[in-house]
Each structure stands twice: as structure tokens, then as C-alpha cells.
Structure 1
Amino acid sequence: MGIVLNQSLKNTIITYIGFGVGAINTLYLYPIFLGATYYAVTNYILSAANVIMPLFAIGMQNTLVKFYSQYNTEQEREQFLSFTVLFPLLLCIPLVLLGLYFFEDLVFFVSKKNPVVQTFIWLIPFTGLCMAYFEIFYAWARVHMHSVFGNFIKEVGLRLFSLFALIGVYFKWITVVDFVYVTSGIYFLALLVTMLYAFKIKAPKFQFLLPQNVKAILEYTFYIILSGSVANLLLDGDKLMLNQYMVIENIAYYSVATYIALVISVPSRSMHQIVYPITAKLMHENKYVELNALYQKTSINLQVVGGFVMLCIFVNINQLYQLVPKEYSGGIVVVFMIGLSKYFDLILGNNNAIIFNSKYYRMVLFLGLFLVVITIVLNIIFIPTYGIIGSAFATLLSITLYSLAKLMFVVKKMHLYPFTKQTLVSLSVTMVLFLVFYFWEFPMHPIIAIGLKSVLITVAYVYLNYKLKVSKEINGVLDGLLNKLK
């Protein structure tokens, strides 16, 4: 776990810095400087771009990670890297032509409830393409065990430039309409910087030759496209559905709530950047004992860290919503629903990496497609009646079912088990502290109350987890810090 823990800790710190900047944007600058309408428009454009991104990337970011370690010669690796960059670009051409042919129909469909989005429709494919190639070049760096810089660009850089753009709106250097276009430009800039960094790590020698195992690559890529589409639809599909049934301002209210809840998944996102290629390597070498050990370590470590984040959010949620405009307060229930779904997915450790690098990935992906259909149906049923809360419930139910299916699949088919007795210990600590602190209100300014309650929770949570020896790795880090202090 040496390199995993080292880069995971760096990635976690970077990601939380990014989420800190994002929190300033989401909780204050977006609602105040942009207003609900253009905040919602920006979110809709990014969500739609994220949904179509897997089609533009054609799954090459995951394919690169899975197959790169299987090549033995430098010539084979260079051919493969060239293929992962050039092949998606070739297939993007018919997608763009298809979009142009049906452009008017698409515009009518997505803007019939909210005409304001009509002007910005073309930004969706542009931003999606930038996202796709960012992920490909980020994977280029990750297979060479360089995950930190790309994570910094993704988690901090994008949000920091958005912060500067929001300041530009405040000083009237740009308008709220300009901001939507600038946001897409920021993703293009992130792509360029990441591409140059990836080429610095491994200089490209582009070759117009197909890899020898191209059939296996294309077969895997097809299913990864489905996988990425499933994951992104579960993540952002609810915002697209809200646009079809409600006035667009509701996307802004929903986005604030989901952003808060998504902070819970940060440890998972950080660890997976480095765990994914290691998982692929262990499975390729059939080292299943080491793989099961990694599975359990990632599960309990993510549970401890993610449980702490979830606890801090849940017990402070009422004070947190006192800091945003009053019309956003209907999202508190959404935070709990989305947060619980993210926590359950979090404690599955590197479950996704195991599935997508196994021979069983096809069946699980089709199951994911089935769950996407369920999500869409549930949103159609619940949004008209319950609004954003109905959408959150549909997401909670869908993600929980999907996570359970993946867990059972790994247990039954590969006999890998993520949970130990420490899983129950960690869960008990989290539940007890939630019951103690949630109903304990501090009669003071919300920021001071949040800070004070968070300090008390941190002391109690760290102490109990340390004394109960929930995670050996985290205890080792704490012991190292204590020794340095001594």
C-alpha cells in the first residue's frame, strides 16, 4: 500500500482543496453572482457534456489503463498509446455529423421547457470532447504512476479558474452569459495543459498502426463505453431529467445539494486514481490473495475517511444551509439521500476496478444499463410529484441497487470479500456520533457553530477509530504524526 497510500493521500488533499474552492463557488459565488437561472444553465451544460463524454472518449481512458501493462516492448506500447489517442478522434467525426443532422430536433427537445438553454446547446459537444481527451491524457500519465498533477488540474485547476471567472462577473468584466462560454473554455485549457504534461512524461511517437490485440481492445472498449455511460447517467442524468419537467432554477437548487453530498465520494475518487492500474496489474498476474488484501484495505480506509466526511456534513447540514439563499433550503433532504448512496458506494473499495478488469465485466455493464432505465422511469414518476426530492430518491434507489449488484457479483464470481468485522465497528462509531451531534444545536453564528461542532466530531471520531484499531494503515499514519510531534 506504500505508493497507493502516498499518492492517495496527496490526491485526497488536492481533491479536498478543490472541493473547498468549489464550495466557495457553489454555496456563495454561483447563487449570488450568477443567480439561479444561469447557475442552472452552466450546470446543465456541464452535466449534459459529462453524459456524452464516454461516447467521445470511446472508453479509451479505461482501456489504456487495462492493456498498457500487458505490452512487453516499447514498440508495442507506443503503438497502443497512438491508438488510444487517434482512434477516438476518428470516431468523433460521424458523431458530430449525426448531431448536426438532428440538431434542430435536439434543440427543440431540450429547450421546450426552458428556452434559455437553446443558445448554448453547441457548447455541450465541445465541452464533452474536451472532457473526453482530458481523461485520455490523464490516463496516459496514470499508467506511468503520475496521478497527482492531473488530479490537481481536475479537482483544483478547473474550480480555481471558475472562481476567477466568477470574480470577473462580479466586477462586470464579463456578463453572466459570457461566463457560460468561459466555463467551456476552461475545460479546453485543462485539456491542453494535461496533454502537454502527459507528453512530458512520455513523449509521443504517433504511429498509424493497429495493435496486435486490437480485437480484444475494441471489445473491451465497447463495454467500457456502456460502463461510462451508465456511471455518468447515474451521476448527471437527474439534472437532465429536471430540465425536462421543471423550470431550470430547480437544477441550481438540486446542484447545491448534490455538490455537498458528492464531497463524501472524494476519498474514493482520489484513491482510485492510483489503485486502478495496480488492480489491473494484480489481476493480469493472477495474484488474487494480494488483490483481496487490497480490496479489504481500500474498503475500510475509504469507509473511515468517507464516514468522517459524511458525519461532518450531516450534523452540520442545517447550519450550512443558513449560509445560502433561502430558496435553496429545500435541498437538505436531497443531501441525505445522495450522501447515503455515495457512502455505500464508497465502502465497496476498489470494486469497480476489479469488475472492469475481470472477464465478467460484460454482464455487470448490461445490468447497469437496466438500472439506468429504472432511473429514468423513476425520475419520470417522482419528479412531477415530488420535484427535486423525487429525483434524489430515484438516484438513491438506483445507485444502491447498482452497488449491491456489483458487490454480490464480485463475492459470488471471484470470491473476493471487501468487508471485515472492522466494517461494523466503523459503521457503529459513525452512527453513534451522528445521533450524539445531529440534535445538538449551538446558538451562535452558523460558521462558528459548524467549526466548533466539526472540531468536537474530529476529536471523538479520530480517537474512537484509533483506539478501536479500525484501520491499520490510518493508525500507522497517525502513529507517524505522533512520533514527529514527540
Structure 2
Amino acid sequence: MAGVKQSVLTTIFSYVGVIVGYVNLLWLFPYVLSPTQIGLFKTVQDIALLLVPFAQLGIGHGITRFFPRLRGKEFAFFSFSLIIATVGFFMVASLFFVFKTPIINAFAEKAPEVNNFLIVALLITFFSLFNSLLEAFCRSFLKIAIPSLIRDVFLRVFMAMLVIGYYFSFYSFDFMIWGMGAVYMLAMISIMLYMKREKIFKIDFNWKRITLPIKKEFLQYSLITLLGTAGALLIMKIDSIMVSSMIGLDANAIYTIGFSIAVVIEMPRRAISQVAMPVISEMFAKNQLTGINALYKKIAINQLLICLLIFLMIWINIESLYHFVPNRSIYEQGKWVVLLIGLGKLTDVIFSVNGEIIVFSKFYTFNITATLFMSVAVIVFNLVLIPHYGIEGAALASLIAMFFYNFVKFVFIKIKLGFNSFTPNVFLILLAGILSWAVSYYLIPTFEAVILDILIRSGIVTAVYLLLLHILKAAPETETMVLQKIKQLLSMLSKH
């Protein structure tokens, strides 16, 4: 029950964060900042977040995998992990300075402003690194809701306050960019205080309690998964950075806003993944393969149900969403970015928790092969497609990379473990989604009042989608569970 409560709270906080993020990127940022300033803001952030997994040395997944084996010694394990991460950060920082010239040259022509804030990117990397490790330990204790609140809501609210402060001329734009580092530092301090309150934050340098074989295995596993984790993030972030370096900061602002509209689709998947990871790790530790396969299928159905509906709500209302964006004529050029990135995110959803299963299985080294291959592929796709199709080319590169990345992992899991996330229900849900979109496109007229159009269109399509799911019997177990919850709620209300 505690896990379910944490998952529900995490989902709620994720969507509160999405609302704040939407206000930020679809209204506040375009209203206060120029496209060049938005592009710079996001490019510095993306560079920083791209460096995090390299500095982490892969120990984020290592913590989740090894935690069940180190109960009673978790705080020595915690301290050991933090020291390893500190070493990792200084290694990355050193390499960053060694290769500073090529990095500067990459942005010199199209986005020279980025080079003035590379140190800020390193600061954000440092604090984000420790944020991710603290979250990993919270996750291992099944305490994921408050870290999610800090990551998804706290960060976005304070980013908004930074921009508002700049709008009222309390400080310069340069100071605002430096302020991003301070926001990530505050997030780190907040997670630490929460962990202290929950009594899951304790520094224990008695590492002798952790046997040498486990230390070696932990480090080996972490270093092996490093490339997989880093490559996965590279696939997600490199497009934005390449748009800045190959087209310019203005183009990245348009791309970023389109990307941010689409990324909301995967929020339920992120929340489910946060809860599923320790469960999958525990099940592998107990060799419960049949249970993992069942979970694999169940997650595929349930997360597709909600994520596909969100995708539909976004795409059928895309014109209306851009209507509220200041300087709409500039940013609505990213409309097709929303579609392509949205389809890419749906591939992540459809293929279920394939990455998580591989990471916690004995075949975890395969993640390196798959991710390295796709990291190279996405860079090549961007290099080929961006010059011909601009920001749509970057989005198309991401879609192709995400599909093949997931498909390769799916095939591997099917061959090695015999797991298969695809059931007839998955295809029935997709059919319901396609038919619901067709209703919106062909049958619902466009209303001049934008809010009225959104309400009517969204209401009709949601009703059609849910009705089709019921008629097709696409998710009978989920439908039964939801109806039972509704009955329980109505019963409670009637008693009061």
C-alpha cells in the first residue's frame, strides 16, 4: 500500500510540475525572454544534464540493484557511493577543461553566447549529480514522492522566480543564468533535509562492513552501466544541443518549447518506472522471472492507457495550445516537433520497462552495446537530417533513435528471458487511440473561442476513447479496478 501511495503522489507531483513547466515554457519564458535567451537558458541546462551520468559513473542504478543485498549496511553503502560520485565529478570536470577548445568551437559560429556560461553548466552538473544519488537512495527506501516534488515542482517554481526577478530588473540576465546553479543547490539541500527527517540520511565511513567482493561487483556493475545510462540520456538531450550549435539559439528555443509540450506524455511512465525499479530488482534477486514477465505486460497496458490519452489531448489541441504562447508566430513553427517527439515518447511507453529489466538482469552489459550503438546513430541522424529539415529533422532523428533503441532491447529480452510486453490489449488500445483522433479530425468542427474548442474537443475525444476501450475490452482488469475505486469513493461520500 505504501508503494501505491508513493506512486500516486509521485504522479500527482509530476503533473503539478508539468503545469508549472507549461506556464514557464509556454507563457512566462516567451513573454519575458527573447528566443535567443530561451535557447541559451535551455542549452546550458542540457549540457549540464548530459554530463551528469558520466560524473555519476553509473552508480545510480548500482544503488538500486545492490541495496537489497546491503540491508543493515546501507549508510556505509550510501557514504561509499557519495565518495565515488565525487571522484566521478572531478574526472568529468578535468576532461571538460581538457577538451574546452573543441567545445567552444562547436558553439562559436551559431551560438557563441553559450561559451560564456560553461562553468554554470559544470555547477549544475555537480548539484544534479548529488540530487540523482540522493533520489536513488530515497527510491531504495520506497520514499519517492517528496524527491519527485522537489525535482518536478520545486525546481520549476524557482526557475520561474529567477525569470520573474530578471523581468523586474532585480538583476541582469547573466546573473539569472548563474542563479540556475543556486536553484539546483537548494534542491539538493531540500532532499538532504527530507532524508534527515525520515532518518535515512547518515554518513558512515565504516566501509569494512561492505565486503571487498561486493565493492568490486558494485563498481564493475556501475561502470558497465555507465555507458548505457549516459548513452540513453545522450539520445534524449543531444538533439537540443546540436540544434543550438548547427542552427542557432533561436531555433533551439522553438525546438525546446515544442519538445516540452510533447515530453508531458511520458510523465506517467516516469512515475511507474520509479516504483517498478526497486520491485524488479527485488524480483530478480529472488529469481521471480514469471512475476517480472507478468509485470512487464501489465505496465505496458496501464501506462499506454493514460499516455496515449495525453498524446491525443495534446495533438488534437495543438493549434489552441500555441494560441496562448506569447510571440506565437515564432514558436508555433515547432508544431511538428511536438508530433514527432510525442510519437517517440509513445515508443518508450509501448515497449514498457524493457530498459529497467535489462539493467537489473544478469544481461545488464547488453545495455552498453545497445546504447552506444544508438548514441552514435542519433548523432549521425541529427548530422544528416538537421541540415535538410531543420528542427523537424532533429525531432525525426529522436523518433527514429527512440524506436530502434526500444525495439533492439525488446528483441533482446524476448530472446534471452522469453519476456514479451505485447499482448492483444496493447494493439486494441492503439486502435482506440487512432479512431478517437479520427473523430476529432474529421467530425468535430473548429470553434472560434479557443477555450471552448479545447473543452468540447477534449471532452468528446476522451469520451470516445473510453467508450472504445470498453467496447474493445482493451483493459478489463484496469477498468474493473477503476470502477471498484469509484464505488468505494461513492460509498464513503454517501456515508458522510
TM-score by length of 2: 0.93
> How much has 1:385 moved relative to structure 2?
1.7
Would the aligned equivalents of 2:358 and 2:366 in 1 still touch at CA under 8 Å? no
SS of corresponding position for 1:402: helix
SS of corresponding position for 1:442: coil
Is 2:40 aligned against 1:41? yes
User: 1:169-208: CA deviations, max 9, x gaps?
Assistant: 3322233332222222211111111122223331313215
SS of corresponding position for 2:33: helix
> How much has 1:391 moved relative to structure 2?
0.8
Return 247-256 or 112-121, whichever deviates more.
Answer: 112-121
Write the letter of the residue equivalent to 1:203.
Answer: F
User: 1:136-167: CA deviations, max 9, x gaps?
Assistant: 00111111110100011111111111222222
SS of corresponding position for 2:425: helix
Runs of 4+ in 1 over 6 A off after TM superposition: none
Would the aligned equivalents of 2:61 and 2:225 in 1 still touch at CA under 8 Å? yes
In structure 1, C-alpha distance between the alignment counterparts of 2:160 and 2:94, rounded to whole Å: 34
SS of corresponding position for 1:387: helix
**Structure 2 equivalent of residue 198 of structure 1:** 195
User: 1:341-378: CA deviations, max 9, x gaps?
Assistant: 11111122222211100111212321211111111111
Is 2:338 aligned against 1:341? no
In structure 1, C-alpha distance between the alignment counterparts of 2:219 and 2:357, rounded to whole Å: 19
**Structure 2 equivalent of residue 459 of structure 1:** 463
Is 2:377 aligned against 1:380? no
**Structure 1 equivalent of residue 477 of structure 2:** 472
**Structure 2 equivalent of residue 223 of structure 1:** 224
User: 1:217-270: CA deviations, max 9, x gaps?
Assistant: 111111221122111111110011112211211000000111111111001011
User: 1:307-362: CA deviations, max 9, x gaps?
Assistant: 11011111111222222221112211111111111111112222221110011121
Number of paired residues? 483
In structure 2, C-alpha distance between the alignment counterparts of 1:381 and 1:418, rounded to whole Å: 33
Would the aligned equivalents of 1:469 and 1:475 in 2 still touch at CA under 8 Å? no
Return 380-389 or 91-100, whichever deviates more.
Answer: 91-100
Return 285-294 or 194-203, whichever deviates more.
Answer: 194-203
**Structure 1 equivalent of residue 314 of structure 2:** 313
**Structure 1 equivalent of residue 22 of structure 2:** 23
Would the aligned equivalents of 1:349 and 1:418 in 2 still touch at CA under 8 Å? yes
In structure 2, C-alpha distance between the alignment counterparts of 1:285 and 1:306, rounded to whole Å: 31
Residue of 106, 110, 116 corresponding to 2:107: 110
In structure 2, C-alpha distance between the alignment counterparts of 1:313 and 1:400, rounded to whole Å: 20
Write the letter of the residue equivalent to 1:289.
Answer: T
> How much has 1:396 moved relative to structure 2?
0.8
Residue of 71, 96, 101 corresponding to 1:99: 96
| Aligned-pair identity (%) | 26
Q: Which runs of 5+ in 2 are unaligned?
A: 492-496
**Structure 1 equivalent of residue 51 of structure 2:** 52
Would the aligned equivalents of 1:7 and 1:148 in 2 still touch at CA under 8 Å? yes
Return 334-343 or 160-169, whichever deviates more.
Answer: 160-169
**Structure 1 equivalent of residue 77 of structure 2:** 80
In structure 2, C-alpha distance between the alignment counterparts of 1:447 and 1:162, rounded to whole Å: 27
TM-score by length of 1: 0.95
Would the aligned equivalents of 2:53 and 2:229 in 1 still touch at CA under 8 Å? yes
What pairs up with 1:20-419 in 2 under 5 angstroms?
Answer: 20-72=19-71, 74=72, 76-201=73-198, 202-207=200-205, 209=207, 211-212=210-211, 213-324=214-325, 325-419=328-422
In structure 1, C-alpha distance between the alignment counterparts of 2:338 and 2:105, rounded to whole Å: 32
Write the letter of the residue equivalent to 1:429.
Answer: A
In structure 2, C-alpha distance between the alignment counterparts of 1:99 and 1:323, rounded to whole Å: 40
CA distance 1:352–1:105, change in 2 (3 Å):
closer
Question: What value does the CA root-mean-square deviation take over the aligned residues?
Answer: 1.8
Write the letter of the residue equivalent to 2:454.
Answer: I
SS of corresponding position for 1:174: coil
CA distance 1:466–1:483, change in 2 (3 Å):
farther
Would the aligned equivalents of 2:337 and 2:391 in 1 still touch at CA under 8 Å? yes
